[in-house]
Amino acid sequence: MKIRDIELKNDVILGPMAGVTNQAFRELVIKEGIALVYSEMVSDKAICYRNEKTMKMLEVSPNEHPFSMQLFGHDKDSMVQAAQYLDQHVNCEIIDINMGCPMPKITNNGAGSALMKDPQYAYELVREIVDHVSKPVTVKIRAGWDENSINAVEVATLLEKAGVSAIAVHGRTRKQLYEGKADWDIIRQVKEAVNVPVIGNGDVASYEDKMRMKELTHCDGVMVARAICGNPWLVRELITGEKAEVNVEERLEMLITHMNKLIDLKGEYIGVREMRGQSGWYLSGLPYNNRMKDLLNQVRSKEEIMDLVNSYQQILLLDKDEQKEAIHKLRNRGA
């Protein structure tokens, strides 16, 4: 698969997730062989004002290439200005425009999937960006705003006319958020309507899902997002078709690795607090995972996380009756 002149080594792509796909998380999946990673979405206004936190989000490590930096906003002038900054000063290969985020704090400002409500304006906005940068510009869209305004094909056709180099399509509407089933037929319709590469997104959690999506839609690449949280090994499965056999010890080791990378990136105070929610991903399906998630949500330091994980490992070595008693004591200690 190629995005303009950028050759991807396979067809598996990490989708952008706000609060998730920071450098710490990206490095976990890059090691598994993913072809392309996206940043968290970054604000055009924040770039224009050189917001310190946003400037930090623009940092790209040497092993993250090829890299797509995702930009969100609505105003043409600030979007072009921000895109030019990414083009000239940020070490990314691709600039992606967010037309898919469904969250009210984004759409209420006319950004994200709200841009799909006015296809002509979306065209004009993207055309201005493409005309003012040298790097390839891509766009991530949804099926439409709601079930009464499914317009992905119309929007995609205009985006191709505007000069984009690829289009990612999430098969849900904005109204669905992340609920219900993604409509892969929308992806097929977009693929048939445009000549640029199309990346399918939504409900891919296994190699079988990936191959079924490609067979039904003929998309060029497959984007994976939520299914990879707590499971970076899924990348390997999606590429090779061989399911990774990951034991409890490996899962917990990855949890600690993720935590350490977050702390290195953001410092212990912020890193630990962000890890509270993300640590639960690695416990999914394991014994007493809900009780452990409750305890991890209360931690305040790296040492507390390490202590909990080590205690949990020891508990899982006990017989079932002893496990119940040990978990109970651990919970009381946490209280």
| Residue/partner pairs of 106-110 with CB below 8 Å, 24 or more apart | 106/41, 106/72, 107/174, 109/74, 110/74
Report the Cα–Cα distance between both ends of the chain, in Å, rounded: 52
> Would you state the structure tokens that stand for residue 94, as one six-digit string?
């691709």
Residue type, 78: S
> Would you state the structure tokens that stand for residue 81, as one six-digit string?
């200005």
Q: Report CA torsion sign: 111, 112, 114, 120.
A: positive
The rounded distance, in Å, linking the Cα atoms of 171 and 142 is 6
Cβ-Cβ contacts under 8 Å for 204 (sequence gap 6 or more): 210, 213, 222, 223, 224, 227, 238
The rounded distance, in Å, linking the Cα atoms of 268 and 260 is 9
Nearest to 107 by CA among 83, 137, 142: 142
With contact defined as beta carbons under 8 Å apart, do 223 and 1 qualify?
A: no
DSSP state of 114: G
Catalytic positions are: 101
